[in-house]
Structures are given as structure tokens and as C-alpha cells.
Amino acid sequence: MFPPIPKLGDYGISPTRGFLPETLPLTRLPDPYYNKWEAVVANLQALILSKRLRGVVDRLPMLDTIGLEHDAEWRRAYSLLSFMAHGYIWGGDSPSDRLPPAIAVPLMKVSEHLEVPPVATYAALCLWNFKPLFMDEDIDNLENLATLNTFTGSLDESWFYLVSVAMEARGAPIIPKMLAAIDAARRDDAATVTDSLMDFAVGLDDLTRLLMRMHESCDPRMFYHRIRPFLAGSKNMAEAGLPHGVIYEDGSGTDEYRQYSGGSNAQSSLFQFFDIVLGIEHRPTGEKRTRDNGSRGREGLAPPPKHNFIMDMRRYMPGPHARFLGAVQSVANIRDYVDQHSDNPSLRLAFDACLVALSGLRDKHIAIVARYIVVPSREVRARSRSRSPETTRRQLNLATASRQPQGIAYDTRAGATQQEAGKRSLKGTGGTALIAFLRQTRDETAEAAVDDVTHRFLSRKAKTEGEGDFFAGKPEGVAGPVEQVQVPGLAGIWTMEDDVGGICNY
């Protein structure tokens, strides 16, 4: 007998808002006891700019979480404390490897209650950090959204978060529709499954158009230099100034370093849900598909989850959301159902349409990564050559770390070849090198196609400009050496070459 199909209400998921809270995030904690937290975050940009945030936080009293009652209050407290924590760590000339008890203790308590790590996750930055401008309008409309908290106070930062919020809201109706499709597959209702898949494909195309609006109000250089450094975690951040991580002081005198990944769109439960219901299998970055790991589980069940970056990011989701994905994993049957109905061309076409749409979304995301991370990082490295070491090291954070010829991308062994250094540089933080991860994720989407034509279309390799052209191009392999540029990503540090680095993950 198959396990029951998960009920959204059991996991705090809304049928209309998805993984966004059914109750809108609070704009302020109602208990005056927490006014000091609210005051600090309300002035966060000025305190960071004046470099006085650490002094103010050091003088804060340690507030208890006893005054937090409803879930919305716990979420507001988590977002406030996360912004204060990352502002404290990254808001100086060099990062702080210690969080004072006034932040660390309540942040750990709130995080334990919400089942999230004590760091600025996707939930703190996006899911629980927005408000509608007009209550009678939909929250999937970017023009009707505003952020509650930011590090910089800039439109660019708000827009960066709100694009994700709008995508979460726009994609929410897909969740109950695909759960209904799973139930329909159990009943052998091919018409319902086909209709659900077609709606899913249209929804994915809509999400792609939302993602492509990122450039409208978020400048790549503003993001790279001013916003992105505050989103870093403490995991594998040696080149950015945190070789061991961060000590969360609890007053006990025990100095224990902790390491966490920073905020990443890989922590979005919505996009992991898409992969699960379509039966898309992901492997650790760099691992090739083999006959063994490409095989599927028994009928009606998705293959068991594997240890890779995507699975690791579930630890950064709110606990109920992560458990929901696990429950969906145990009942996912759409891909198997399509495989078993090879005589139904409409069903197979609808399924492959979803894969084409999801692959297209991931292509657009890779393009955004290149524009917002790869290009600015190379500009930084080029500029740093003309500056003295004192100038380039005046401030140490996620952006300035990319100027240093050391770390992952730099091989100090005498005689080491560029190719050898490049191979070692493919390791990223949180278990991935980002563009390599994104490209592999896109390619794994193509592997799920049921039609050979669709599979060949999605697996095609783009030709480089001028390839095979006697007059305009050069034969492959003649190009000069590619400079290795190390660039930290949101969740840590990646080596920036053509195949690595990026903003975030889907």
C-alpha cells in the first residue's frame, strides 16, 4: 500500500501562498520588551555605514524569548536577529569571528524553535521578510511588494529579495496541483495528470519571466560589492577572514567555532519540490551519470535521496518544509506513470514540456549568475593589479577576497600547471562549485525526459561563436590561458572560472 499523500496543512504550507507564511510577516514585534531589537534593525544601514553597529550590539541586554508567542513573532525575531548577526560579522573593515551573547543566545533559541540554523537563511531574507503595499492586491506582483529589513537600504537589495518572494507566490498554486496529479496517477487518471503537467509547464514559464526581471532594479556591481558580502555564511570563508567560522558566545566561556552556509536560493523548498515531483535525480557536483545511479526505484516511489549539495540545503529550510519534501519524495510517481504510458503521446508531451520549461529557467539563472558574479569578479581582479597591496587589503570581506591570489584558485606548488590548479579549484563550499553545480542541475533535468527527441534537444551543447569558421574563429583548444579568479559565493567561496561561481542556486 502506498504511503498517504502529504497534506499541506500538516506542514504549515498554504495552498495559495505555498511556502510563504499564510499570515503575513509582522512589521514589528508587538511586545515593547523587544523594542531594542527593533531599534537596531530600523537603523541598521546607518549603524553599518558609520561602523558603530558592533558597539551598539555589544551594549545590548540579553533578551529572553519568553515574550514570543505566535509563529509570526518567532519568525520576526529570527529575521531581526539574523540581520543583526550578519551586520555584526561583516559590517566592519574585517569580519568578526565572534557573536556576542546578546545576539547569539536568543538567535540560537529562536532557530531551535523554528528548526532552522542560526544564520541568515533564505527564510530570514525572503520568506519572512516582505509586506504587500496594498492589501487587496496579490503578493505575486513585484509592484506590490516591499522588504521589511535590508543591510544597505538600497532598492537593489530589496529587489533582489523580492524577485524570489514573487516567484514563491506565483509558483504556490503548482504545489496542490501536482499533489493532485500524484493522486490521479494512482487512480490511473491520465487526463488529470496531463492537464496538471501542462499547467505546471505554463507556471514554470511564468516564473522564468519573473526571474528575468532581476536586472530591472538590481545593479550587478551594487549587488556584488555592497549586498553580497552581507549574505555570506561562515563556512569555508578563510580567504574572506573567517578561517575557523564564528563563535556564538553563550556566556559559558566555551569557545566553539560554528560554520554555516549563507543565504542561498538552493534553500527554496519550491524548486526542490519541482525536481521531486518530476523525478529529477541530482548527484554530487562533478559526478557523472552511470547505469547504477541512473536507475529508478520501485514503481510508484521516487529514488531515495542522495547526499549532495541539494540535500544539504534542506537543513537550512524551516523544519516542516524539509519534512514535507521528504514526504513528497516517498509518494512521487509522475515520472514512473509517464514511463508506463508510452502509448499516450499527450501525456508524454506534457511531461517533457515541464522539463523544457524548467531547463529554460535554469539556463536563465546561469546567465544571471554570469552577469552578477562572474563579470564583476573579473573586473575586480583586473582593477586590483594596478593598486598597491595596502589599498586592496584595506577592507576584508566577501568581495575583496576575490582580489587575493591565494586559496582555492591559487596553487603554490612549484611547477604546478594551470590545468592541475584548475582541477583542484573545482571544489566549492557547501559541497559545490556553483556554476558547475547549476549546469549539472540543468543537465540532470534533461536526463528525466521520456522522449528521445526532447532529451537530445535539452542535452544539446551550445557552440562557441566562430567555431569552425575559417575567417571568424579559431580551432578549439587554441585560445590562450584562462586566468583563475577566486570569488566567494553567497554560501561560501568558489573559484571563478568558466565553470564555477555564482549568486545562488535553483
Looking at 18-27, 120-129, 272-281, 436-445, which range is the least confident one? 436-445
- Exposed/middle/buried for residue 457 (C-beta within 10 Å: 0-12, 13-18, 19+): middle
Per-residue confidence at 61, pLDDT binned at 50, 70, 90?
A: very high
Backbone angles phi, psi at 129, to 5 degrees: -135, 50
98 has which bridge partners?
A: 247
- With a CB cutoff of 8 Å and minimum separation 6, the contacts of 292 are none
Angle between helix axes 319-331 and 269-277 (nearest 10 degrees) is 10
When comparing pLDDT for 204 and 448, which is higher? 204
Burial per residue of 350-377, b for 16 or more beta-carbon CB atoms within 10 angstroms, e otherwise: bbbbbbbbbbbbbebbbebbbbbbbebb
CA dist 237 and 97 (Å) reads 11
- The rounded Cα 180 to chain-centroid distance in angstroms is 27
Per-residue confidence at 271, pLDDT binned at 50, 70, 90?
A: very high
pTM score, two decimals?
A: 0.80
Average pLDDT, the chain: 80
- Exposed/middle/buried for residue 189 (C-beta within 10 Å: 0-12, 13-18, 19+): middle
How is residue 408 annotated by DSSP?
G
∠ CA(318), CA(321), CA(325), 5° rounding?
A: 140
Contact status, residue 81 vs residue 64, Cβ threshold 8 Å: no
- With a CB cutoff of 8 Å and minimum separation 6, the contacts of 390 are none
Contact status, residue 447 vs residue 294, Cβ threshold 8 Å: yes
- How many separate helices (H) and strands (E) can be counted in the chain? 21, 7
Per-residue confidence at 458, pLDDT binned at 50, 70, 90?
A: low
Predicted confidence (pLDDT) per residue in 432-443, tens digit:
455 555 555 555
**Number of other residues whose CB lies within 10 A of the CB of residue 31:** 13
Q: Which residue has the cell 524548486?
A: 271
Copy the grid coordinates of residue 500: 564555477
Predicted confidence (pLDDT) per residue in 232-270, tens digit:
999 988 888 999 999 999 988 788 999 999 998 889 999
Instruction: Output the pLDDT for position 378.
Output: 81
CA dist 413 and 463 (Å) reads 35
Statement: residue 481 has pLDDT above 60: no
Copy the grid coordinates of residue 334: 509522475
**Number of other residues whose CB lies within 10 A of the CB of residue 121:** 29
Angle between helix axes 71-90 and 101-114 (nearest 10 degrees) is 140
CA dist 465 and 237 (Å) reads 36
How is residue 288 annotated by DSSP?
P
- With a CB cutoff of 8 Å and minimum separation 6, the contacts of 371 are 215, 220
- With a CB cutoff of 8 Å and minimum separation 6, the contacts of 210 are 142, 163, 166, 167, 170
Comparing C-alpha atoms, which of 368, 367, 322, 362 is closest to residue 448? 362
Q: Which residue has the cell 511588494?
A: 145
CA dist 34 and 69 (Å) reads 13
Tell how strand 492-496 and strand 485-489 pair up. antiparallel
CA dist 369 and 501 (Å) reads 8
Average pLDDT of the residues in 404-432: 36
- With a CB cutoff of 8 Å and minimum separation 6, the contacts of 253 are none
Copy the grid coordinates of residue 99: 557573536
Statement: residue 485 has pLDDT above 80: no
